[in-house]
Amino acid sequence: MKPRKQLIDAAVANGSIDRMNMLLSAAHLLNCKANSLVEEASDLMAENGLLLGDLKKLHNNFVKSADLYFLEFSSLVETEKSKMDMFRDMDDFDAKFREWAKLPSDWKPKESEE
């Protein structure tokens, strides 16, 4: 078996490390977007008394897991520039995704006549 450094050097040389970084960055953006959509939906469910039973329990489990994931990922973002680049990418992706999905960020519930 090759030593770890040799494996890493080979992966850098053949472009696999760059591809892996791009895939993980894209996956992270998607995870951030999915997490924000779940949170937005759960806020609506909670406001309307619909976050109940198993759904509430599973949502809480999801939130705990997502928090652990994002905490670990944040340890990989070391410089202030990298953090700002990541947040800019997330904002840009959010705007494009919301346009594509027809999910405006300024949505408000309709006024009820009760």
Domain spans in the chain, listed from the N-terminal domain onward: 25-101
Each residue of 50-94: pLDDT tens digit? 988 898 899 899 999 999 988 888 888 888 888 888 889 999 999
In sequence order, the 6+-apart residues with CB closer than 8 A to the CB of 17 are 8, 11
Q: Residue 70's pLDDT is what?
A: 87
